[in-house]
């Protein structure tokens, strides 16, 4: 992961960075931070998870290589690898591998390449890929394998190996995610199970504790703005707490809201995307608060059990507006001068 300092740094003027870090160094840190969650996913879902991760990496890197052409510069900086891993972590473990490949291609191509490559993508590429799959194959994207099932290393679920463009066949071993169980059956899940990841769900959303660990590492390394995840957390806790207080029967507790679903993965690793988040501190607070409100609203009032993906994509879309609106006061300018 070493190479000559690339001119790409010149356009990455994100103020989260207090020192000049190279893209490949940042991406390496993100990969290190994600590794515990990756290992856990492989343990919890076995061979299916490993295949999903492998295919996603191959598809994303192949697309990136195709795009970057002969130079291969953007391939070596590791950003496509990070996108591939993040994208794989948002997928349900039994997803057919051909769908994984389709989404990976969409991530890099529609999420990043057509906007001009790394640094120009308004949306988080991994989430673009997942959003495409969610809309294209809604039933496959809401079929969840139970975690820690017997024989998960020795056998691969039938659905994973579905032939390209054919409908996957699911065996009976599917189960509901904690959020779906709560939304459709009003069943709550034990908070400890949520923290440790003993539930079903997508590859990377089950173990909140390991994700939190990775996030803390990134914050300690100063790679990531701590304001975004903190403001998302506060806003989710506040809004869901308010709803819970108003009507404890129909709304879940803030603890459940915080530790279930893709919130940890999304708020720590996707909302903090250097390109898609605002540049100023105040902007980050506003952006995080917006995501939190959207997440709780979609989960509580929407048709779907989970809304982190759409919340982040919508907030990504508001980032240019936030940056336009909240501008740092030029040094020495008269007080309160706003553009």
Partner 1 sequence: MSQLDSASSEATGSMWEAGLWRENPVFVQVLGMCPALAVSNSARNALAMGLATCAVLVLSNTVVACIRSLIPRQVRIACYILVIATFVTCIDYAIQAISLDLHRALGAFISLIVVNCLILGRAESFASKSTMSAAAIDGASMGLGFTLALFMIGAVREVAGSGSLFGISLFGPNFQPWVIMLLPSGGFFALAAWLLVFAAWKERQRPRLQPLEGRAQ
Partner 2 sequence: MTEPMATSATAVVKTWQMYRAMVGLGVLCGSLIVTSFLVTRATIAENRRRALDLAVRTVIPGADRIQVFVASSDGGIARGTEDNPGEERVYAAYAADGELLGVAIQGRGLGYQDLISVLYSYDRERQAVTGFAVLDSRETPGLGDRIATDPSFQENFIALDVTLDESGSELLHPIVAVRSGEKQSAWEIDGITGATISSVAVASILRESAARWIPKLNDHWESMRQGG
| Residue ranges in contact with partner 1 by CB under 8 A | 96, 132, 135-138, 140, 162, 165-168
CB of residue 102 to partner 1, shortest distance in Å: 9
Nearest to 104 by CA among 87, 121, 86: 87
Binding segment (CB under 8 A) for partner 2, from list 55-63, 135-143, 233-241, 287-295: 135-143
Region 166-185 residues binding partner 2, contact defined as CB under 8 A = 184-185
CB of residue 153 to partner 2, shortest distance in Å: 27
Q: State how far the alpha carbon of 163 is from the alpha carbons of 51, 98, 174, 203, in Å.
A: 15, 7, 20, 22
Nearest to 325 by CA among 287, 271, 274: 287
Please, which residues have CB within 8 angstroms of residue 39's CB and are 6 or more apart in sequence?
Answer: none
Q: State how far the alpha carbon of 193 is from the alpha carbons of 22, 154, 177, 198, 259, in Å.
A: 38, 25, 12, 5, 10
d(CA 295, CA 254): 12
Place of tokens 């990841």: 197
Give whichever of 124 and 208 is closer to partner 1, judged by the CB atom. 124
CB of residue 174 to partner 2, shortest distance in Å: 9
Q: Please provide the size of the chain in residues.
A: 339
Specify whether the CB–CB gap between 94 and 145 falls below 8 A. yes
The entry of partner 1, partner 2, none near residue 44 (CB within 5 to 8 angstroms by kind) is none
What binding mask, one character per residue, do residues 183-212 give for partner 2 by CB under 8 A, x or -?
Answer: -xx---------------------------
Region 139-158 residues binding partner 2, contact defined as CB under 8 A = 139, 142
Q: Please report whether residue 7 would count as binding partner 2 according to CB under 8 A.
A: no
Region 249-308 residues binding partner 2, contact defined as CB under 8 A = 303
CB of residue 166 to partner 1, shortest distance in Å: 5
Give whichever of 185 and 247 is closer to partner 2, judged by the CB atom. 185
The entry of partner 1, partner 2, none near residue 303 (CB within 5 to 8 angstroms by kind) is partner 2
What region, left, alpha or beta, does residue 40 occupy, with left being phi > 0 and alpha being psi -120 to 50 degrees?
Answer: alpha
Give whichever of 153 and 184 is closer to partner 2, judged by the CB atom. 184
Give whichever of 69 and 187 is closer to partner 2, judged by the CB atom. 187
Give whichever of 69 and 138 is closer to partner 1, judged by the CB atom. 138
DSSP of 283-339, one letter per residue?
HHHHHHHHHHHHHHHHHHHSSSS--HHHHHHHHHHHHHHHHHHS-PPPTTPPTT---
The entry of partner 2, partner 1, none near residue 185 (CB within 5 to 8 angstroms by kind) is partner 2
Binding site for partner 2 (CB under 8 A): 138-139, 142, 184-185, 303
């Amino acid at each position: 992961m070493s190479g000559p300092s690339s001119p790409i740094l010149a356009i990455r003027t994100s103020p989260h960075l207090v020192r000049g870090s190279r893209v490949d160094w940042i991406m390496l840190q993100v990969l290190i931070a994600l590794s515990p969650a990756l290992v856990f996913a492989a343990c919890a879902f076995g061979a299916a998870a490993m295949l999903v991760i492998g295919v996603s990496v191959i598809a994303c890197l192949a697309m990136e290589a195709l795009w970057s052409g002969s130079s291969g510069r953007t391939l070596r900086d590791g950003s496509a690898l990070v996108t591939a891993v993040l994208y794989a972590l948002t997928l349900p473990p039994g997803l057919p591998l051909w769908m994984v490949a389709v989404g990976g291609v969409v991530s890099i191509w529609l999420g990043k390449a057509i906007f001009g490559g790394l640094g120009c993508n308004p949306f988080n590429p991994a989430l673009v890929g997942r959003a495409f799959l969610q809309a294209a194959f809604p039933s496959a994207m809401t079929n969840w394998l139970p975690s820690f099932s017997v024989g998960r290393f020795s056998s691969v679920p039938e659905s994973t190996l579905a032939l390209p463009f054919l409908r996957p066949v699911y065996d009976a071993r599917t189960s509901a995610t904690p959020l779906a169980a709560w939304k459709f059956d009003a069943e709550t899940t034990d908070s400890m199970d949520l923290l440790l990841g003993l539930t079903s769900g997508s590859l990377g959303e089950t173990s909140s504790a390991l994700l939190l660990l990775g996030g803390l590492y990134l914050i300690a390394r100063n790679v990531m703005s701590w304001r975004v995840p903190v403001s998302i957390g506060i806003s989710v806790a506040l809004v869901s707490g308010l709803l819970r207080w108003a009507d404890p029967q129909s709304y879940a507790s803030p603890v459940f809201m915080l530790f279930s679903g893709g919130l940890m993965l999304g708020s720590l690793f996707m909302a903090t995307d250097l390109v898609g988040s605002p540049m100023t501190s105040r902007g980050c607070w506003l952006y995080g608060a917006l995501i939190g409100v959207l997440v709780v609203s979609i989960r509580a009032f929407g048709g779907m059990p989970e809304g982190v993906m759409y919340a982040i994509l919508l907030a990504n879309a508001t980032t240019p507006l936030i940056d336009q609106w909240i501008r740092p006061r030029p040094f020495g300018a008269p007080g309160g001068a706003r553009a």
